[in-house]
Amino acid sequence: MAGPDARALPVHPADLALIDEAVEHVRTARTGDVVRRLMPGLAAAERAALVRHCALTHAAVLVSAPSVETLCATLRDRGLDAGKAVPSVIVRRRLAERYGRTPEGLRVDIVRVPVPGPVSVPAVAPAERAVEIFVLEAPPGAGLDAVAVRERAARHESHLALEVTEPDDVIMAGLRTTLVERGAMVPDGGGYNAREDATALYFRTGTGASTASGAERLELHARGDHRQALTAHLAAAAGQDPARRLLELCTGAWTTQALATAVRLGLPDALPTGAEPAVDAAELAARTGTDRDGTGRLLRYLASLDVVAADGDRYRLGPLGSVLRSDAPHSMAPLAELYGGPFYASFGELDHAVRTGEEAFKYLYGESHFTLFAARPELDVLFQRTMAASAAMFGPVAAAVAASGARLVVDVGGCDGELLARVLAAGPDLRGVLLEREHVLDSARARLTEAGVVDRCTLVAGDFTESVPPGGDVYLLSRILHDWDDDACLRILRRCADAMPQGAELLIVERLLPQDGRPSLATAWDLHMLCNVGGRERTEEHYGRLLAESGLGLCSVAPLPLDGFLLRARKAGGASAAL
């Protein structure tokens, strides 16, 4: 027997099936199960926290009908209690944008159908469960048949909704962060519905995961006007637009030069901080000897990056920009100068590095950056200062060595002595040896003197690819290995292994390439190594293989600030030290 002719029915059978599916899912689903399916990467504690603050409140589907009254009558015939229809603001706007129409040319209403939830689920939701039906009115001759067909197939508006039980600015910000950063959800629009006095933030899965209802979108629904959360969410969603996002990426070089220019002109040091009165472009230009108009335009751009804080046409240094001051602890100003200088120029030859595997810096300048910088003291000093900019990752290393019971620490390639100074300061009974190139030792001696530990340190000029001072209890290799290819790394590690007595340990500070796709600074630095140094960032497994080939065994890996890691190794077969 032939089925009913869809053209003869007031509501398409596929739309009715979609409603039935949503009703069944809302009737049986549990909040925790929905969270687990949509965000499988969340830890159990994170899922539990979400469930404490949210509850599954409804599933939403979009259907078409000649009129909302026709749909409501059809629902009542099927035993579903259709509530009063209210206009939809957000979905109407989304449909208009999707199909190039004006919102005024579309009518979209929301019909809410109450659905009893699972008996075993506590009634923690602020409202009963329901299916929320977006009804696109498509009367004959309205020219919306194609839209209805496409929406029926794509199910763009199908989603599940979590109601925030006690929303406020802090809770909303925390939930947004958890969903995006930990749950890998992607911002997908939102809005405030004044008729309902409710804020909706939409997300879609970043992995293609879906619930049993087929929904790959999630709504975070909160009673009230939460404009702060909505503004941040819409800004993040705008960043997902491919053309806009690509423009932002293509202009990344402008950011590099803006930061470097600000540092070279002394703007971070000249801008007021904290409670000091903000200044306008004219006053700052007078302080720095720059053009008023150009200074104002640079300040406006830096404000868009949150490097400076704008108060109308007056500016002060923001928290992000404060680390660019020359007197800031671990100042990032040297990094801004270096990355906006020689390394910026060499990145212009990145295509050569990718085509050939050769470092672009040597191709551009005719020699490696180590050789060039050694011949140009102003660049070498700048490079050494950049090493101190990442010193935030050294604190846990110094504490670990100081607590180890070691007596002699050998810092292999210790640059200006920043790490060794911290280690010796943390362990008053420790002595240190710093191995570096001859021309770097003066800077190291000055830093160790400043730290008050130079009397406990021996400075040795040498090449760590040839030999390493023997007899240490702990050896340090901080951000050395990523500068070299695997063959050179093996030479360095073998020189360390040769120098290490039984029981000694080797501590390696590096960034590790993630193996699970998570964001990491190591990914960008890996390209930097290819372009400017000829080395590479590596995974934990890669370092483990190099250590094993050198007669060393990887014992543990611990995270450090700035996406760094501390890798602890010892001689294979040797007794473990106390670290």
The string of pLDDT tens digits covering residues 273-309 is: 877 889 999 999 999 999 999 999 999 999 888 899 8
**Average pLDDT over every residue of 452-463:** 95
pLDDT of residue 241: 63
Neighbours of 445 (CB within 10 A): 16
pLDDT of residue 117: 66
Query: How does pLDDT run across 475-527, given as a tens digit for each residue?
Result: 999 999 999 999 999 999 999 999 999 989 999 999 999 887 677 889 999 99
Question: Where is average pLDDT lowest: 32-36, 78-82, 176-180, 391-395?
Answer: 391-395
pLDDT of residue 6: 39
Q: Is 369 a catalytic residue?
A: no
The widest CA-to-CA distance across the chain, in whole angstroms, is 98
Assess whether pLDDT exceeds 50 at residue 4. Answer: no
pLDDT classification of 141: cutoffs 50, 70, 90? confident
Of 68-72, 191-195, 235-239, 407-411, the range with the highest mean pLDDT is 407-411
**Average pLDDT over every residue of 177-188:** 88
pLDDT of residue 103: 82
Query: How does pLDDT run across 95-118, given as a tens digit for each residue?
Result: 888 887 788 889 999 999 998 866
pLDDT classification of 121: cutoffs 50, 70, 90? very low
Edge to edge, what strands does the sheet with 308-311 contain? Answer: 279-280, 314-317, 308-311
Go through the domains of the chain in sequence order and give each one's CATH number. 13-239 (3.10.180.10), 257-340 (1.10.10.10), 386-571 (3.40.50.150)
**Average pLDDT over every residue of 205-223:** 68
Assess whether pLDDT exceeds 80 at residue 212. Answer: no
**Average pLDDT over every residue of 12-28:** 90
**Average pLDDT over every residue of 395-412:** 91
Assess whether pLDDT exceeds 60 at residue 259. Answer: yes
pLDDT, mean over the chain: 87
pLDDT of residue 40: 86
Counting every residue written for the chain, the total comes to 579
Residue partners of 405: CB distance under 8 A and separation at least 6: 473, 577, 578
User: Is residue 376 helix, strand or coil?
Assistant: coil
Task: Give me the catalytic one of 12, 58, 226, 482.
Answer: 482
CA distances from 17 to 4, 43, 86, 131, 549 (A): 14, 35, 23, 13, 62
Assess whether pLDDT exceeds 50 at residue 562. Answer: yes
Assess whether pLDDT exceeds 90 at residue 268. Answer: yes
Closest of 23, 47, 51 to residue 36, by C-alpha = 47
H or E element in which residue 292 lies: helix 292-304
Assess whether pLDDT exceeds 80 at residue 420. Answer: yes
**Amino acid type, 220:** L
Provide the percentage of residues in the chain whose pLDDT is more than 90: 54
pLDDT of residue 459: 97
Question: Where is average pLDDT lowest: 255-259, 462-466, 493-497, 575-579?
Answer: 575-579
Assess whether pLDDT exceeds 90 at residue 210. Answer: no
State how far the Cα of 271 lies from the Cα of 269, in Å rounded to an integer: 6
pLDDT classification of 3: cutoffs 50, 70, 90? very low
Query: How does pLDDT run across 41-81, given as a tens digit for each residue?
Result: 888 888 998 999 999 999 999 999 999 999 999 999 989 98
Model's pTM, two decimal places?
Answer: 0.61
Q: What is the dihedral of CA 243, 245, 250, 256, to 10 degrees?
A: 160
CB 133 within 8 A of CB 115: no
